[in-house]
Amino acid sequence: MLFTNHVGAGASGKTLVLSPQMRMGSGTTQLLPAFFAAPNADATLDWLCSSAAGAGAGSRAQQYGFSAPATPATLPPEIAPMECR
């Protein structure tokens, strides 16, 4: 997600990264390619949102063990949504 200067001076050209991941009924997680290779009906699509601070304390990365995105985000955490800090 690319931001413009309409969001704020520190946001122009910065990014948040949204990573879709599957939360399995067993408590594990899978990235989408692995899930689609062997679909499991007992799964929920969920999203990990990351700012320049990384996946964030208390985020889905910690709650569910989601994998950090391969592409780092660049939006400063102080202007990112709470879920993305």
Beta bridge partners of 50: 17
- Taking the C-alpha atoms of residue 14 and residue 72, their distance in angstroms, rounded to an integer, is 11
Six-digit token string for 57 = 């304390």
Q: What is the DSSP string of 16-69?
A: -EEEEEEEETTS-EEEHHHHHHS--SSEEEEEEEEBTTBS-TTSHHHHH-PPPP
Q: What is the pLDDT along the chain (85 residues), one digit of tens a residue?
A: 766 666 666 777 888 888 888 888 877 888 888 888 886 678 888 888 888 887 654 556 667 777 778 888 888 888 888 888 7
